[in-house]
Structure 1
Amino acid sequence: MTKLSEIASVAYLYSRHLLSDQGLLPKYSPSAILNTKVSFLIVDITRITGLDAIVNAANNALGDGSGVNGAIHRAAGPDLVSECRRLGGCDTGDAKITRGYGLPAKYIIHTVGPVYYRHERQTSAKLLESCYRRCLEVAIENGVRSVAFSSISTGIFGYPIEEAAEIATSTVRLFLESEQGAQIDNVVFALFSKHDLEVYQKTIPQIFPQTI
């Protein structure tokens, strides 16, 4: 198990020189507060303790599947399937919440990302942005203050991780800056591979730049 309290924030990584801007120009202004709220690492999202909610990269039927969706369903147990059936599915770009059941997290927020090749690039981007925003809106509606995101749509849905990471981090950044977003204490980007981590190491400094 990985404890939320032991996951290093972006601010901590900067302070220990474990993260740098690599000479890239930031796209947003530095914020010491936001940098303490955001983390990213390679981790099994089903094994993080201390979180209020984790985000599932779901399908439209909210059924069991492969990848992170299958892992979450296996860890949560059969009661999750029963609750998901009662929700009547989920539209692409939207999000719905269930209990966490056998998971350490109290809730699972299910969101359906776009299948990359089915849409024009701009349409896919808007749908993916909506996924992250709706997850955070649903989190606020349910009193969730800490949430871990899986990498939505970058598995079998084929979304290039380089594009997806920028959309994910930018959308989270803009939400955290809002009045609603002030109610969120922790956002963790739970990554699957070394390649994903390397992409986020380049993306995060542009969206959450180091403070002076």
Structure 2
Amino acid sequence: MGSAPSKAARTLPKTAAKPPPSWAGARTPAPEDLPTRHAQRPLASETKDDAIMKDAQDPQLLANLTRLGPVRVDHHMQSVRTNAQVRRRYESRVQSEADAASAHAPRNRLLAASLSDLLDQRKYAASRKELEKFAEQYGIEVDKLESVARFVSTPSVDEKTAIRTVEDNGEENITMVAFWKEPTIENDPSARIVGGKA
């Protein structure tokens, strides 16, 4: 295994030695070694001479500017943001940050889950006093709660209308009739029930 005849011999191709290319070993000449045919231009100047002005010209830019023509300025424009708008936005952010840093929730502000719980409790309030008690527990004014409840509610389901269906794969689906219920407060004929299917 370790003997010389069992190993492949490595041989390099035998070609005639060529002279190295002309660029091999070439170095960039130092600036003092370069021939001085013309005097070098200064890199910076305090005044604009003809060479600088010629170098700064951009014929395409000048042609495009000429094609656009003079700028028309509307002197009756108004700024989009007035100082009052900026001040109101700043005060709103400061108030928002102060509310977020506070240990207790600000009045008339609820998380979605808390609002859902409050709207569920509101459905079963029998009197205005009970409704006020629920609102006070969540730190919200009754008028604000009623304003929100005009547009937002939580669905209630009638379990007597449950329909159970079983799919081919064994999954069971339950369908019930959902309805939106307003609280039945004493001496309040405006309570209504709206039906729908869930």
Identify the structure with the greater helix proportion.
1
Higher relative contact order (CA 8 A, sep 6+): 1
Range into which the TM-score falls when normalised by the shorter chain? under 0.3
> Which of 1 and 2 has greater Rg?
2
Please give the TM-score of this superposition, normalised by the length of structure 1: 0.21
